[in-house]
Amino acid sequence: MLVCYRTYADYRGIFANQALDTLHNAGAQVWTQLAKETGSSMEQWREWTGGTFEAFLHHLSDASNKLGDEIGRALTYHTGEMTHGGTFRCVDCETHVTLKQPAHLPPCPKCHKTEFRRA
């Protein structure tokens, strides 16, 4: 009885493998034919979209850099500006200046430069 089941299982396994091989070969033929028919248009599409995407990323990078510069300028405090207080870091020498109440920002006590960022 066990021999019967084993033989039947072997037969099913062989049949399943043959069926998979047939599907694989048919699929490969379909993809090969599709590649032949669309190969040049796919290459053109890839080159066009790749170039377009590359240009888009360069423009995005430029815009991002400009925005970063603008934000950096907006976050930079200068000597004489009225602030609501807090701790500021000198852009040049990293010295901290703390104002406990609203006041005009003084020059850096160490290097006498005039640009600060919040610490």
The 10 Å CB-count burial string (b at 16+, else e) for 30-43 is eeeeeeeeeeeeee
How does DSSP classify residue 106? Answer: P
Strand partners, 82: 104
CA distance 13 to 34: 31
State whether 58 and 90 are in the same domain: no
State whether 81 and 70 are in the same domain: no
Asked if residue 13 belongs to a domain, the reply is no
Asked if residue 93 belongs to a domain, the reply is yes
Residue 95 has pLDDT above 90, yes or no: yes
Number of domains comprising the chain: 2
State whether 83 and 110 are in the same domain: yes
Q: What pTM did the predictor assign?
A: 0.48
Asked if residue 25 belongs to a domain, the reply is no
Q: β-strands 96-99, 103-104: how paired?
A: unpaired
CA distance 14 to 22: 12
Residue 107 has pLDDT above 50, yes or no: yes
State whether 95 and 61 are in the same domain: no
Q: Which domain holds residue 70?
A: 40-74
90 touches 117 (CB < 8 A): no
CA distance 117 to 95: 11
Residue 3 has pLDDT above 90, yes or no: no
Greater model confidence, 7 or 83:
83
User: If pLDDT is split at 50, 70 and 90, which confidence band does 42 have?
Assistant: low
**CA terminus-to-terminus distance, the chain:** 83
